[in-house]
Structure 1
Amino acid sequence: MTTAAETATALDVQGLLDAARVKTGLSDYGDEWFVEPLTVLTKALADEAKLSEMGLALTKSRFIASLADRLRLKQLQVENPEILEEEVTVAAEICGLPRTGSTLLHRLLASSPEVTSTLSWETSYPLPFPGESPAAEIRTKRARDRYEMFLEMAPDFGDIHTIEWDGPEEDVILMDRTFTSMSFDSFYWIPTYGLWLREFDQAPAYQDLKQWLQVLQWQSPERHGQPWMLKSPHHLTAVDTVLDTFPGCKIIMTHRSPTKAVPSYASMVCAISAQYSNDVDPKDVGPYWRDRFVSALTQFSDVRAKRPERFIDVDFLEVVKNPVDTATRVMGELGLPADREALEAYMARNEEQRHGSHTYTAEDFGLTEAGLEQDFAFYQKEIAP
């Protein structure tokens, strides 16, 4: 395990900013609003995360790469100002609690030729490399190699969450480059960062997300006219901001009993964070995410009461039992045609990709079903359909 001082030195904010400048040969970050979240994040990592040597090396590399992407995006916009004129239309953000069928619903809806979505490889490598053709052969190869390396490091992860290196993926991975993302407290034990994020105004981060969608759309003219179908539970932390940033966007809320969803997500978090630290206590992880989601759903309830017309409800069991009919209904509520042939073709592929199951109990993560029922009673009564 690395010491707090070693982590703080390796993740010194100015050092990271300078390293990305050296890596790219670029210097202009534009608006440096993101330095505040990066500073909060790196301090929490030093004080709380107990990173392994490999975890620290991976984290430092990841942060420098994210900062390098910010520099490269700014330069690409200067060289191609038409990027900022791209009109981005978001049909929907799927943002139920994790482990509520949202991934299946997202991939199912994204299979429709009427919409587009962020793909896994392009959330990892959103900007073209020098000399790369429009086929993005360098980036897709790197993404596939990265995917295979991840599965070697976490061979059981596929039993928890199916990964498709070339399939639809959460747009929050683009937001990781803003350092305001639920990814970070899912990957690391950094509760002070999570508490800070609850209160932070994420409007600049969502303007950045819009810019990333613009640059992806600019690279793929075939996306013009196709609304984006996006997904991440992170958006529960900023529902008002999502709706303000993307006029016309609807929130698709997937519902499942938190007595199932919270322990399931805690299990996933423990599997991910084990790559970065050898000292992760599941009985800390469970209560942390219980509190995190109680807070998020309370805020969600307030926003929903003000803008009820912007929300669509989907029950977890509905997705599992009747996925194609559910997707058809949702597309109709979005005012989009449903291509049942495409939906059924995706479900056939999904059946082939299914892995084993993983087992856990609420008690494994310092929780009880009775306690979760009580903690989320307001959600079951007021929000869940």
Structure 2
Amino acid sequence: MTGTLSAEALMRQAEQETGLADFGDRWFLEPLNALVSSLNRDGELSEMGGYMQAANLTKYLGERLRLVQLLKDHPEIRDETVEVLAEIVGLPRTGSTMLHRLLACSPEVTSTFSWELLNPLPFPGDAPGDSRPRIEAAEQVTQIYLATMPEIAAIHPIDPVGYEEDVLLLDRSFISTGYTTMLKVPSYDRFLLDVDQTPAYEELKTWLKVLQWQAPARRGRKWLLKSPHHLTALPALFKVFPSCRVVMTHRTPAQTVPSYASMAAALTRPNTDRLDPAALGPFWVARFRRSLAAVIELRERHPDRFVDARYEDVQRDPVGEAKRVYAALGLPFGPAEEAAMRAWLEQNARDRHPAHHYTAEEFGLTREGLERDFAFYIDAYLKN
């Protein structure tokens, strides 16, 4: 990439594009600068990657400006009552997406749609409740996304009008493992592991209020969310959402880590011409070991806040496992819920998606090494 990214220049560009100048609390400058610095130092961005990242960061900064203005124009948004019932959390590739979309079938809960995560604010001139322009935009973005990275269809099914990970809202705070998944930013990742993420989760709560304000039918329903990112920040999650439970999904890392490395490779490749797949595996092994160790320690202090779900059990009996999790969360389960789940399963049968092909070795890993590295986790949750 020619030139370097500049947080100040990106902010000026966002101001010019929106005609706004108030970014609100500037706590976000620390993570933004950490990300930009890592991109400049370590990112080895291609020309396309540099263009895409500058555009993405400018968009997110513009949305921060627009969010601040929206809250000024509609202070009643802050009075919205948001309760997060549960976050579905686990290593990536553990069946959390399937479980999330099944559990979200309940009329008792609501969740985040893909189209509103891509554009959580109405386009200028649109009414807050008019979702069609943003749905159409999401459909167009999805087509481009799959054309650019067709292998993603086999790794993570994308539905513009379906439920998706709330980590995309955290992207706007510049605190997100999404950046470490699609970019070469090791120093930013080290920053992310040790920074207090509480301000980002406060902003996540504000975003949920904004989404709920735009769709009043959500009022009175609890939010059910999902993202592996939350493995890095459960103390902040619990602080901001004190009643939130965690549904933790489990699958052997011998399968999940190579699968996720494959996904990271697919997402990173458009951003750099210098991708070393064999370096991805060891990076994610170290990352996930630290996160899991922290979660296991936290669980010892808050055992009642966790509900477990094994990948094999969800695959074997998805409706039965969803019913069991519902019971643990205090959600009712009846004919309507079961019918909705079975309809979703029929519409999203795995054989409708292309196969995902990868090996551990191409990412610098072996099954034996993974079983050894994650023995502490396997012994705790996957032995019986």
- Normalised by the size of structure 2, how large is the TM-score? 0.97
- Contact between 1:236 and 1:300, CA under 8 Å: does it hold in 2? yes
* Cα distance in structure 1, aligned partners of 2:111 and 2:145: 23
Q: 1:178 aligns with which of 160, 173, 180?
A: 173
1:279 Cα shift? 1.3
Q: How many pairs does the alignment contain?
A: 379
Gaps of 5+ in 1: none
Change (3 A) 1:238 1:12: same
- Contact between 1:162 and 1:354, CA under 8 Å: does it hold in 2? no
Deviations 1:139-192 (A, max 9, x none): 111111111011110112101111111100000001000001000010101111
Question: Which residue number corresponds to residue 49 of structure 2?
Answer: 55
Supply the AA of the counterpart residue of 2:62: A
Please provide the CA RMSD for this pair. Answer: 1.1
Helix, strand or coil for the counterpart of 1:95? strand
Tell me, yes or no, if structure 1 residue 124 matches structure 2 residue 122.
Answer: no
- Contact between 1:162 and 1:353, CA under 8 Å: does it hold in 2? no
* Cα distance in structure 1, aligned partners of 2:269 and 2:124: 35
Question: Which residue number corresponds to residue 360 of structure 2?
Answer: 362
Moved over 6 A (4+): none
Q: 2:264 aligns with which of 249, 260, 269?
A: 269
* Cα distance in structure 1, aligned partners of 2:309 and 2:131: 35
* Cα distance in structure 2, aligned partners of 1:70 and 1:34: 10
- Which piece of structure 1 moves more, 315-324 or 107-116? 107-116
Q: 2:317 aligns with which of 316, 319, 322?
A: 322
Which structure 2 residues correspond to residues 92-171 of structure 1 after superposition, within 5 A? Answer: 92-133=86-127, 134-171=129-166
* Cα distance in structure 1, aligned partners of 2:350 and 2:235: 38
1:383 Cα shift? 3.9
- Contact between 1:98 and 1:261, CA under 8 Å: does it hold in 2? yes
- Contact between 1:270 and 1:282, CA under 8 Å: does it hold in 2? yes
Counting aligned pairs with the same residue, the percent is 46
Supply the AA of the counterpart residue of 1:229: L
Deviations 1:243-290 (A, max 9, x none): 121121110100000010000000000001111112111111110001
Gaps of 5+ in 2: none
1:382 Cα shift? 2.5
Tell me, yes or no, if structure 1 residue 70 matches structure 2 residue 64.
Answer: yes
Question: Which residue number corresponds to residue 225 of structure 2?
Answer: 230
Question: Which residue number corresponds to residue 40 of structure 2?
Answer: 46
* Cα distance in structure 1, aligned partners of 2:340 and 2:239: 31
* Cα distance in structure 2, aligned partners of 1:354 and 1:122: 25
Supply the AA of the counterpart residue of 2:364: G
1:226 Cα shift? 0.8
- Contact between 2:109 and 2:222, CA under 8 Å: does it hold in 1? yes
1:49 Cα shift? 1.4
Question: Which residue number corresponds to residue 292 of structure 2?
Answer: 297
Supply the AA of the counterpart residue of 2:28: F
- Contact between 1:256 and 1:316, CA under 8 Å: does it hold in 2? yes
Question: Which residue number corresponds to residue 84 of structure 1?
Answer: 78
1:352 Cα shift? 7.4
1:353 Cα shift? 7.5
Tell me, yes or no, if structure 1 residue 187 matches structure 2 residue 182.
Answer: yes
